Amino acid sequence: MIKLAILASGSGSNAEKIMAHFQGSTKAAISLIASNKADAFVMERAKKFGVPTFTFTRKEMDAGVLLAKLQEEKIDWVILAGFLLKIPEELIRAFPNRMVNIHPALLPKYGGKGMYGHHVHEAVKAAGDTETGITIHLVNEHYDEGKIIFQAATSVTPEDTPDSIAQKVHTLEHRYFPEVIESLLGS
Ligand code: GRF
């Protein structure tokens, strides 16, 4: 059984789709939901699926506490689904080509520092872009610059607001993220 951990800081709608996707799988299991926010809604979602949770502070993560937990649980893959802290290099190096992130835009556009959540959709709107989308990529030491595994696009109309753009992007994320993760795990 391949063991996956999901790191999330917020609502966790992607985490929920991933947990639902792998429920009953004979190939892989979501073994841990880890968050830097004890009151993040993703924790409720984890309970609903009976997935163990782990919370930690930024300081603890930087001191290696999260890495130790992932190793103790024998985690094979780390999935970042709305995780907002910068991952320590030591942790990235412990999962070479085994750490995946989803970014709510078509990288390399709208990536890098400060480009997360609503900031991304506001920037897309302000630029007047006619499309946006999702990027699923491996994580390396350079934020949002790891190898791109998958992208999908959606149209942006002049009527769209940052909120409606966010909804369109979430729809794509929910549709594709679980199956792209599964394809990465091999057969
Ligand atoms: C997603 O849009 C993801 O791309 C971004 O953070 C958001 C998390 O949403 N990195 P949710 O917590 O999964 O609902």
Could you tell me if the CB of 105 is within 6 A of ligand 1? no
Strands 53-55 and 28-35: parallel
83: helix, strand or coil: coil
Helix/strand/coil for 2:
strand
Tokens found for residue 3: 């063991």
Mean pLDDT, the chain, integer: 95
Each residue's pLDDT tens digit, 127-166: 999 999 999 999 987 766 789 999 999 999 999 999 999 9
Which residue ranges of the chain lie beneath pLDDT 50? none
Q: Residue 185: its pLDDT value, please?
A: 95
13 CB under 6 A from ligand 1?
yes
How many CB atoms neighbour CB 21 within 10 A? 17
- In the prediction, which pLDDT does 69 show? 98
Distance 160 CA to ligand 1 centre (A): 19
Contact 35, 80 (CB under 8 A): no
- Say what the pTM is: 0.96
